[in-house]
A and B are shown apart, each in its own frame.
Chain A
Amino acid sequence: MGVFSGSASYVRYQVQGDVPEPVKDFVLEKLKGYAFKEIDPGTLSEKTIGWVSAENMALTRFDDLHFAKDPYLVFSLRIDVRKIPGMTMKAALLREEMKYKETTGQERLRKKDKDMLKDEVWQALTKKTLPTPSVYDVCWNFQTGIVLFFSTSRKANEEFMAFFHRSFDVKLLPLMPQALATHLGEKNNKFFDVSETELQFAHG
């Protein structure tokens, strides 16, 4: 559901600041540097984030300019999260607590022991849990500085803004009502003061 197929849902942004020229080479270097890396199954990492090809979410190496479709740059943000289902954690923890009580002969567990068991269970389950990927398309018009992010999830948009800034060293301004008024004013050499618009619309 994004830039290539399906119904489209997106939020519009304006890039703030200048991107070094030549833009495509600069972006290629940054996509390489911040490309997605899989979670290493042997580790306790719960989340990983990075850029992938919009044409194939498993394509995590940027060796060429396949993402450049003048005047657009098209790639995807991939976020993999390893999350233990709440009930799985609860069942495993209760089982370990019962085992521990049997082994030690204790009737009630101290908080210290409970915390230790919880940590052990969490570690064991995290290593076994497969990451769930989420992929969001990005379309950056480098001539106008407008970026479309193909998700309306608030959390995904927050992660996107932060990671875009980290990767490309430029901030994104969401084109929400006030910002869009300013943007359209600048684009058309007009000044749109919307500070009184609400009042005037409601009361004349």
Chain B
Amino acid sequence: MDNEQQKQGSLGRDFLTYLCYKSDDNGGQFELPGSGEQFVLFLDRKIALEDDQEVPPNTVTYSGDDFTEKDLKQAIRSRKKVREARFRIDKGENTWVFTLKADRFEISGLKIDMPAVQDLDEKFYGRIYSIETLQSLLDACYEQFIESVNGKNWKTTGYPRFQKWLQSK
């Protein structure tokens, strides 16, 4: 990884780590700015964390039901950040399950629940609407992350709360 990629990757990994923290600490509740619409985001049984300061990078991967928030906290305490994770978002009657990779913000394995339709245009518009809605939710989370961490309350409230969560058993 060159310096630029590493810089991009670090920011992306901080964001995914923040998402995992919020999904546990806050019951996964997020709110869209402006409309106030709510949605729930949580980890879906698959995560890879990495300490990229070590050579070669020290990676730990969890999948399945055995993985708990204790494993997550332990990994973050040992300087690892989330490199990729499978998330689930529930908003109203809609659900998205996908893997988000931190370094390039790639989405993979997104399952799109759609009623079976024959018309190609109908199928296309249904799928692209679902993808764009997901992206707007993720963008809202990313904005919340940037504003929260760069905001004046992070030092006094946000960071201590994050640390309290991290150190809790």
Contacts and interface: CB of A to CB of B under 8 A. Distances in A.
Contact of A193 (B102, B128, B150): B150
Contact of A175 (B105, B123, B147, B149): B105
Given A180-B142, A188-B143, A204-B160, A11 B14 contact: no
A180 B139 contact: yes
Interface residues of B, number: 43
Which of A7, A148, A192 gathers the greatest number of chain B CB atoms within 10 Å?
Answer: A7
A200 B17 CA distance: 14
B8 A178 contact: yes
A9 B106 CA distance: 7
Specify the main secondary structure of chain A where it touches its partner.
mixed
Nearest to A188: B143
Specify the main secondary structure of chain B where it touches its partner.
helix
**A-side interface size class:** 35 or more
A175 B12 CA distance: 11
Interface string A171-204: 0001111101100100010001110111011111
B124 A74 contact: yes
Nearest to A203: B159
Interface string B93-111: 0000000011111111111
Interface of B: 7-12, 14-15, 17-18, 101-112, 120-121, 123-125, 127-128, 131, 135, 139, 142-143, 146-147, 149-150, 154-155, 159-160, 163
